[in-house]
Amino acid sequence: MSSRRRAKATPTVIPAAGVAGTPSPADVAPELAAQPSRRLEIVTAAIALGASVAGFALALAIELRTETGGVDPRFWPTLLSLLAGALSVALLLIAVLRPPFDRSDLEAANRQGAIRLVVALVVAILYVVLWQLAGYLVATALFLAALLWVFGGRSWKTLIIFPVLTTAFTYVLFHTLLKVPL
């Protein structure tokens, strides 16, 4: 990965209730935009429906110290899960019957990006574990070096100096100045 790369702007959702006729400069270039997908819509609607049903069952199962009936602690979660269930059914119907939603405001994911994301997530989880075992300083320096390597940094300054300095800086900031026990 080139070191001259720059962070690309986060694709921003132009407000749905925005101004008619106003150009939308944050839209992604057409060749990079994510494609609409009916399968994705159906899967998300089904997951939402499943979560609503689970929420409804859990809401009814809430144990109360005193049963008062009516507007009790079960009332609001039950109301919410019923509303969510109705909306999920509507979403599922729309997903099956109507053309899938436009996703042109999102950039398409690429294979390299997916690998980068999964590796970063694994490194982050390992960091949380190592933090408990080896302490903040060692874990953080290793974590930063590993991440920088995954993201394409290769020079010794990037992989050694930057992690060490950043770890030291955050330790002084959090531990020494802000009294957060790390």
Partner 1 sequence: MNPIVSGLEALIDPTVLVCLLLGLVLGMLVGAFPGITATMAVALASGFTLTLEPVQGLAVLLTIYVAANFGDRVPSILVNTPGTPASIATTLDGYPMAKQGRAGLALVISALVSAIGIFASMILFAAAAIPIARLALEFGPSEMFALVLFGLTVMISISSKSMIKGVLAGVAGLALATVGRDPITGDQRFTFGINDLSSGVDFIAVIIGVFGIAELFDQLLTHHASKVRPISSLGRWWPNKAEYRQMGKPLAVGSVVGMIVGVVPAAGGDIAGLIGWDRARRVSQRPEEFGKGSIEGLTASDTASSATLGGSLTTTMALGIPGDSVMAVMIGSMIIWGIQPGPSLFTNRPDLVVSITAIMLIATILSLAISLVRMRGMVKLLDVPVHYLWATILMFCIVGTYATTNNIFTVVIMLIAGIVGLIMKRTGFPVGPLVLGLLLGPLAESNLRRALLIEGPIGLVSHPISAALIALALFAIIAPIVGRVRQKRTATAAARTEAGNALVKSSKGPHA
Query: In the range 112-141, which residues lie near partner 1 by CB under 8 A?
Result: 113-114, 116-117, 120-121, 124-125, 127-128, 131-132, 140
| Residue 88 CB-density burial (10 A; 0-12 exposed, 13-18 middle, 19+ buried) | buried
Between 30 and 181, name the residue whose CB sits nearer to partner 1. 181
Binding residues among 28-57 for partner 1 as defined by CB under 8 A: 32, 34, 40-41, 44, 48, 51, 55
Residue window 66-85: x/- pattern of binding to partner 1, with contact defined by CB under 8 A: x----xxx-xxx--xx-xx-
Q: Is residue 97 within the footprint of partner 1 (CB under 8 A)?
A: no
Q: Is residue 164 within the footprint of partner 1 (CB under 8 A)?
A: no
Q: Is residue 156 within the footprint of partner 1 (CB under 8 A)?
A: no
Q: Is residue 25 within the footprint of partner 1 (CB under 8 A)?
A: yes
Of these, 107, 130, 137, 164, which contacts partner 1 (CB under 8 A)? 107
44 phi and psi angles, rounded to 5 deg: -65, -40
Close Cβ partners of 36 (under 8 Å, ≥ 6 residues apart):
99, 100, 101, 102, 103
Angle at 123 between CA 125 and CA 130, to 5 degrees: 60
Give min distance, CB of 114 to partner 1, in A.
Answer: 6
Q: Is residue 65 within the footprint of partner 1 (CB under 8 A)?
A: yes
Q: Is residue 103 within the footprint of partner 1 (CB under 8 A)?
A: yes
Give min distance, CB of 100 to partner 1, in A.
Answer: 10
Helix or strand or coil: residue 26? Answer: coil
Nearest-angstrom CA–CA distance, 147 and 163: 10
Give min distance, CB of 146 to partner 1, in A.
Answer: 9
Q: Is residue 3 within the footprint of partner 1 (CB under 8 A)?
A: yes
CB 180, CB 174: distance < 8 Å: yes
Close Cβ partners of 40 (under 8 Å, ≥ 6 residues apart):
100
| Structure tokens, 21 | 């006729």
Q: CA 76 → CA 55, 57, 60, 83, 160, distances in Å? A: 11, 13, 11, 11, 53
Of these, 42, 46, 53, 94, which contacts partner 1 (CB under 8 A)? 94
